[in-house]
Structure 1
Amino acid sequence: MTGDHYFTAEPSAPAQAREVQFTIAGRDYTLASAAGVFSATRLDLGTSVLLRKADLPDPTTTGSLLDLGCGFGPITGVLATVAPTATIWAVDVNERARELTAANAARLDVADRVHVATPDQVPTDISFTQIWSNPPIRIGKDELHQLLLRWLPRLSPEGIAWLVAARHLGSDSLQRWLVDQGWQVERHASQKGFRVLRVTR
């Protein structure tokens, strides 16, 4: 066993390449994955609920979309596929996750519109029309709050953030905290113990 977490910058565990298959909005995806990244063996249940219950962008969606905590890139891949004129910023602290997301963008033939980056590599003048995240609840409440305080203010004035969180990991307290920070928060959907939150200014 190693001490690696999916939020480890440079996982030390052997990569153990594998593939993950899933279907979203009628399209089948087969993406590369590896040990040392979040939900390496399957599409995480929370991410699945988010992608199936939130309102996916449509072909008319433009601007920059943020996949915060991209992992091996399932959200990035779906967003880039359904919104062919949008630019996707895929952000993760995990180097292996970023490499996989870049490889999967190439596999899906969307690499020209996907920017894979560390948090500090995202230009500060970019605002996002949408933010998508299955945020890393397990990093702890204080760090989670700092993460959201860093990125949610970068929503464009009419922008929407879609977040998913497990009820038993504090989705309802997260919703209350977001409201206390001045955000409009709608519990858009609930499924399989997860809440999908729609966050706007």
Structure 2
Amino acid sequence: MAQHYFDSDPDAAHRRATVDLVLADLHLRLETDRGMFSPDKVDLGTRVLLESVPAPPAHGRLLDVGCGYGPIALTMAARAPEASVVGVDVNRRAVRLAQGNAAKNHLDNVDFYVVDADGNPAESPSDQAAPGTDAAAAPPALAGPFDAIWSNPPIRIGKPALHGLLRTWLRRLAPGGTAHLVVQKNLGADSLHRWLESEGHPTERAASRAGFRILRVHRP
């Protein structure tokens, strides 16, 4: 059966690798593996996002939706060391690598959680819960509200699932908070922009580069 980066338990054979995320203000070395999004390099959309967004709030709670092995959440944590950062993904293999990448890069203000399609905890972080812990009772951190959301959302899960995911997490944005989403133009960035507006989320195109749009979503 074909494997996708949005599978919860990918069974692709392991092939560990290391990629470097080099930005003007930081350098992160990240461990990756097969069975997750862009394991061979930090993808261009993520780079466009991280090079285009303004600095995250210095304090408060920050969220990365679809964190993969952690490049966006870890950048937020490095840029806002006094903030509390959360990364979420359905992919258990990716989340466990993200946890390890946080430790390897000495970032202790970020936690990662495996969630289901509705944003509910699928399990507790391995470094915070013993085997058999009731995951549903574990992380109040997932409830929000979040002062900022950065995301390279999983467009290829299809529109109904994507819209459900965005409804789940955008309603956890704090009043006055802002979400930045990076979406490839030829994968529906402009139609997503229109959909967000139709859902009552004021949205603007914050940047456009290399075929990607950065959509800035405000919560009044």
Structure 1 position 31, deviation (Å):
0.7
Q: Secondary structure at the match of 2:144?
A: coil
Matched residues in 1 for 2:185 and 2:75: separation? 25
Q: Secondary structure at the match of 1:35?
A: coil
Structure 1 position 22, deviation (Å):
2.1
Gaps in structure 2 of 5+ consecutive residues: 122-138
The one of 189, 192, 195 equivalent to 2:207 is 189
- Paired residues, number: 197
Superposition TM-score, scaled by structure 1 size? 0.94
The one of 109, 113, 116 equivalent to 2:109 is 113
- Residue-by-residue CA offset, 1:85-142 (whole Å, 9 max, x unaligned): 11111100000100110000001111x3212112222536421000111001000001
1:101 aligns with 2:98: yes
Q: Which amino acid is 1:143 matched to? A: A
Q: Kindly report which structure 2 residues correspond to 1:1-201, keeping only aligned pairs within 5 A, or say none.
A: 3-57=2-56, 61-110=58-107, 112-119=108-115, 120-121=120-121, 122-123=139-140, 125-201=143-219
Q: Secondary structure at the match of 1:161?
A: strand
In the alignment, is the contact (CA less than 8 A) between 2:144 and 2:173 conserved in 1?
no
Q: CA RMSD in A?
A: 1.2
Q: Which amino acid is 2:64 matched to? A: D
In the alignment, is the contact (CA less than 8 A) between 1:24 and 1:78 conserved in 2?
no
Q: Secondary structure at the match of 1:176?
A: helix
Q: Which amino acid is 2:100 matched to? A: A
Matched residues in 2 for 1:145 and 1:178: separation? 9
In the alignment, is the contact (CA less than 8 A) between 1:129 and 1:155 conserved in 2?
yes
Q: Which amino acid is 2:60 matched to? A: G
Superposition TM-score, scaled by structure 2 size? 0.86
Structure 1 position 25, deviation (Å):
3.0
Structure 1 runs (4+) deviating above 6 angstroms are none
Q: Secondary structure at the match of 1:38?
A: coil
Matched residues in 2 for 1:116 and 1:165: separation? 23
Matched residues in 2 for 1:102 and 1:116: separation? 6
Q: Secondary structure at the match of 1:118?
A: strand
Gaps in structure 1 of 5+ consecutive residues: none
